[in-house]
Structure 1
Amino acid sequence: MFSTRRKDIFVLVVLSLFAYLSIIAIREIDSAEARNFIAAREMLENSSWWSPTVNGHFYFENPPLPTWLTAIVMMITRSHSEAILRIPNMLCCIFTILFLYRSMIRIKKDRLFAFLCSFVLLTTFMFIKLGAENTWDIYTYTFAFCASLAFYLYARDGQRKNLYRMAILVFLSFLSKGPIGFYSVFIPFLLAHYIIFPREIFKKRTFFVFLTLIISIALSLVWAFSMYFNHGDYFLTIVKDEVSAWATKHHRSFIFYTDYFVYMGSWLFFSIFVIFKVPEKKEEKVFWLWTILSLIFISIIQMKKKRYGLPMYLTSSITIGQLCIYYFRKTYAELKKREKTLLIIQQLFLLFVIFVSLIFLTYFGYIKKEISFGLFFLYAALHLLFLFLFAVGYTEISYAKRVIIFSGLTMLLVNFSSSWILESKFMQNNLLKFRMPIDEEILKSSDPIYAEAYDIEDVWKLGKQIKTLNKNMPDEREIIFLGKEEPKSLSKVYEVKKVYEYQKVTHDMERLYILERIY
């Protein structure tokens, strides 16, 4: 028989797999994913594991750990499927969920609380979304998040194994995207901990923490120093450009991330409630302050993107978990008026979401026939079953528990049933929809591809490097040219043998010309 903890882990893993596998094949790649995929492909083609390249040029903008993991999956599976290559991200997210569960058990000595924190995290909209994309961000933030929990465990019990875990996780976070995760996740937790427990800064353990951090960060910089000594000024130029980009590009206001409540998905109202409710216990106040400081830290940085707000979703899983366990341990009669009001609002919100989702599926799935009738029937049946289970059988004892559990399940149900239609019908202008397949002759050809202008996603989809056509004439006997029309500069030397239509990532149509040298 499984122990209770093993049952929890089994449920968390099953729900996580359901959350990610239901959307991992739906999303088309973006430019960040394309760079990682191309770098992994070229690692295998050129055996250049230590010095990654993208389209034949050195790529030093991000450290190589995520690319290594992608390349390993590509090598093992021999697949270039985007869904397969997103598996490392999915596994990283599941690792984070289970690490959170294990850490909260050690910190709180409360199995139910640990389960609820992990349950909230795996059913958070933005965490699911980013876990289904193969980018550098998910690694650096989740490793820094787990390192923070390992630090807190060491600060509490002094076990060296937690100090070593912290060191390894900080090392992995730096090797994923430099100091980004360390800055926006780990440092805020360090500050929150010592603000709430100021006396601990004078303990011997604090010395070992900072010594270990220095060693871990120094080891993580080995790759960067290696690139500097091997590529010198070129590497420094890339680093300077990256630093400049964080100060000048995607400039947003200080309040850019305050809409993170919306991206919490079905935990919208719970996240609003906990951010304005300061806990009384010091152990709980640490995690609340962690969320506030993370928000401040990521808001200070000029460069802002929605995925850079991931620290908020990670830390909020614990603060919402604290609210959930409070509801689980209190009878309905003991709850304060505002706490009862929150449950009622949440219940009505979930019912509204399910009804809207059902209407949405009926219109686009049944009337517009965006999906097969069998799939529509399955989705509709799940919605109706969900409504039945959610709407009946309430008692004062089970009321809060049912609302909380169904809050997470609502996110999973809507994510599973509506994602494909939402992506294809309403987000196609922001995604890369290659509706027209690329001809096999192009994919299998060994001829070099030239273009006057192209997107990095084209390099991934066409399966090979794209060379920029400049003043120097190509010297190959046969080439492939990507463009709207054959360039006049080539017409004197090359003649067109075949022409294929090609749909770019912007949905614009261009052509692939197979050209053969005249003389």
Structure 2
Amino acid sequence: MNFIHEKNYVWILVIVCFALFFVNLDVLYPNIMEARNFITAREMVSDGNWLLTTMNGEARYEKPPLPTWLAAISGMAFGFKSLAALRIPSAIITLILILCSYRFGSHFLKNKQHAFISSLILATSFYIIFAGRNGTWDIFAHGFMLVGIYYIFHFFASAENIWRNSLLAGIFIGLSFMSKGPVSHFALFLPFIIAYSIVYKYTNFKKKWLPLLGLIVVTAILSSWWALYIYEMDTETATAIAEKETTAWQDRNVRPFYYYWSFFVQSGIWTVVAFVGLLYPYLKSRVKNLKAYKFCLFWTLAAVILLSVIPEKKSRYLLPVLIPLAYTTSFYIEYMFRTFKTNRDKRETFPVYLNFGIVGLIGLVFPIVGYIFLKDSLSGFYFRFILTSLALVPIGFFILKYLFKKEIQRSFYLIIVFVMMIIVTGFPLANALLDNPNYNSLQDISRKAKEEKVPVYMFNIQSPELVWDYGGKIPLVHSHDLEIPKENTFKVLVMIGGKKSVEKAFPNYEITYQETFDLNPIDNTNRGYKDRLRTEMYLISKK
């Protein structure tokens, strides 16, 4: 029995995405990647650097500018002091990603309910939620790429609308490149091509060579024009940055080949059932559409293997894998929808009891466990804590109730509501854990500098979060290529422990400590405390 009519699937996905990606966007502080993007967006507007992009006045060509353009436009519309506004473009592209995943799934799964299940799994996967609520580049690259893949699938599989499908595929694949270079081409598109080549047959390809050439040309133009422009306008800097980025893939964050083998954990709340979805010998005789299952499984595994080949590895690089993994996981869930009520094999139903049961139990015990962990930090957050408890406890109870009544569909949909309520009611509780008594923002520095008529410089490049918090460009003084400020008296922001370098750089000046700025939301007793989020200010006066 299907509890939701298929005509409501799209609207439900929109509502789910609104709760997951658009609500409480201003809760968390900007991370280092967001800070880089937002600084560049701010300088696009303030300095007009829309093509020759900058970060604190220095060339910033490491990433193509499309996501930054969108952040800049949003900043122009709603103000650069609104974190929510700057993150809205990410939320919008994530909504597009989820809706496209549903439409794509409806086509090749040939079952709208199955496609709906897969899109809900994708929307509630951990790294999708993380990326969809952050103003960084990754979600744009993979969101545009999935739209491109949708059209290229139609281009391969159908003899109709060949030119439309090829050109639209080329446009969106090109937009993906304009978001983060070839990352999604390697991590999402190439695995798709591998999986499609193994599972499906190319039909009527003799008629498609010219449209395919058009696809390649459109993709090439969209992908290369900005890189060619910056190379032409700033050859030396563009070449140096390209070399640095190429080296980074080989030298930074090097991990062993098997580092990504626990990739299914990145689906978060679906970890257990995601693992089962990968067990081909078990599922091959239980799925309705074996060819589609093979396609999704090969797509997932090809993405993991290709990412494993790259020496540089980070958990967040697994984001594109979650797209085919959601489809793969949905085959097991769809099978349980059909058989759970009558299935007497405990080996088959145990993963569902375990996965869904853990979620239900978390909701049920949230007030007790939450209070134990947060009791010393709940001042000012009691209303939010009570509201979250009132939401999660009944949801957890009914997840468990329907699970043990074997009404698996109800339990599944309640898990979606559970995740929504965590974001809508519970996410602001994160601030209850953020208590740094030494927190000190840089936002008043520029105002004080104007009042005191003493300029402020940054001594060597420091963390982008500091520059973002400052609210504008901070003139740089480089120790390796020192140009001493012309003023007799000025202030410098210096990395923690960098005073000796300042003394060496300004031997004929009197150096006086002024203040320490600390942007860490947690105190220095916590593991996540970062020295790079601190800087010291010194007054430099000519003797």
Equivalent residue, structure 2, for 1:39: 40
Other structure's SS at 1:61 match: coil
Equivalent residue, structure 2, for 1:512: 537
User: Which amino acid is the alignment partner of residue 474 of structure 1?
Assistant: P
TM-score by length of 2: 0.84
Displacement after TM superposition at 1:261 (Å): 2.2
Alpha-carbon spacing, 1:251–1:153, altered in 2? closer, same or farther (3 Å): same
Other structure's SS at 1:333 match: coil
Provide Cα deviations, 1:217-252, integer angstroms capped at 9, x if missing partner.
Answer: 233201111111222232122111111111111101
Equivalent residue, structure 1, for 2:233: 230
CA distance in 1, matches of 2:410, 2:296: 25
Greater Cα shift, 48-57 or 472-481: 472-481
Alpha-carbon spacing, 1:195–1:404, altered in 2? closer, same or farther (3 Å): same
Equivalent residue, structure 2, for 1:391: 400
Equivalent residue, structure 1, for 2:525: none
* Alignment equivalent of 1:379, drawn from 376, 388, 410: 388
CA distance in 2, matches of 1:376, 1:84: 26
Say whether residues 1:474 and 2:477 are aligned partners: no
Displacement after TM superposition at 1:290 (Å): 0.4
Equivalent residue, structure 1, for 2:373: 364
Equivalent residue, structure 2, for 1:112: 113
Other structure's SS at 2:234 match: helix
- Asked whether the equivalents of residues 370 and 421 of structure 1 are also in contact (C-alpha less than 8 Å), the reply is no
- Asked whether the equivalents of residues 459 and 477 of structure 2 are also in contact (C-alpha less than 8 Å), the reply is yes
User: Which amino acid is the alignment partner of residue 208 of structure 1?
Assistant: P
* Alignment equivalent of 1:411, drawn from 409, 413, 419: 419
Other structure's SS at 1:79 match: coil
Say whether residues 1:438 and 2:450 are aligned partners: no
- Asked whether the equivalents of residues 357 and 418 of structure 1 are also in contact (C-alpha less than 8 Å), the reply is no
Say whether residues 1:264 and 2:273 are aligned partners: no
Provide Cα deviations, 1:447-505, integer angstroms capped at 9, x if missing partner.
Answer: 34232563222111112224125343201366332136695465856787x94442155
* Alignment equivalent of 1:274, drawn from 274, 277, 284: 277
Equivalent residue, structure 2, for 1:402: 410
- Asked whether the equivalents of residues 188 and 320 of structure 2 are also in contact (C-alpha less than 8 Å), the reply is yes
Displacement after TM superposition at 1:370 (Å): 5.4
Equivalent residue, structure 1, for 2:69: 68
Alpha-carbon spacing, 1:206–1:419, altered in 2? closer, same or farther (3 Å): farther
* Alignment equivalent of 2:347, drawn from 332, 338, 351: 338
Displacement after TM superposition at 1:170 (Å): 0.2
- Asked whether the equivalents of residues 266 and 350 of structure 1 are also in contact (C-alpha less than 8 Å), the reply is yes
Alpha-carbon spacing, 1:448–1:389, altered in 2? closer, same or farther (3 Å): same
1:5-404 equivalences under 5 Å are 7-22=8-23, 24-157=25-158, 158-160=160-162, 161-200=164-203, 204-205=207-208, 208-209=211-212, 211-277=214-280, 279=284, 281-330=290-339, 332-333=341-342, 337-355=346-364, 357-366=366-375, 368-369=377-378, 372-392=381-401, 399-404=407-412
* Alignment equivalent of 1:462, drawn from 470, 482, 490: 470
Displacement after TM superposition at 1:83 (Å): 2.7
CA distance in 2, matches of 1:434, 1:113: 51
Alpha-carbon spacing, 1:450–1:248, altered in 2? closer, same or farther (3 Å): closer
- Asked whether the equivalents of residues 230 and 238 of structure 2 are also in contact (C-alpha less than 8 Å), the reply is yes
Other structure's SS at 1:332 match: coil
Alpha-carbon spacing, 1:42–1:107, altered in 2? closer, same or farther (3 Å): same
Other structure's SS at 1:473 match: coil
User: Which amino acid is the alignment partner of residue 398 of structure 2?
Assistant: L
Alpha-carbon spacing, 1:201–1:322, altered in 2? closer, same or farther (3 Å): farther
Equivalent residue, structure 1, for 2:526: none
Other structure's SS at 2:257 match: coil
Other structure's SS at 1:303 match: coil
CA distance in 1, matches of 2:307, 2:438: 34
CA distance in 2, matches of 1:422, 1:441: 28
CA distance in 2, matches of 1:262, 1:423: 26
Aligned residues: 510
Displacement after TM superposition at 1:510 (Å): 4.3
- Asked whether the equivalents of residues 194 and 200 of structure 1 are also in contact (C-alpha less than 8 Å), the reply is no
CA distance in 2, matches of 1:262, 1:93: 20
Alpha-carbon spacing, 1:239–1:153, altered in 2? closer, same or farther (3 Å): same
User: Which amino acid is the alignment partner of residue 24 of structure 1?
Assistant: L
- Asked whether the equivalents of residues 125 and 411 of structure 1 are also in contact (C-alpha less than 8 Å), the reply is no
Q: Which runs of 5+ in 1 are unaligned?
A: none
CA distance in 1, matches of 2:261, 2:430: 24
Greater Cα shift, 336-345 or 477-486: 477-486
User: Which amino acid is the alignment partner of residue 220 of structure 1?
Assistant: S
Other structure's SS at 1:255 match: helix
Alpha-carbon spacing, 1:262–1:39, altered in 2? closer, same or farther (3 Å): same
Displacement after TM superposition at 1:266 (Å): 1.3
Identical pairs, percent = 24
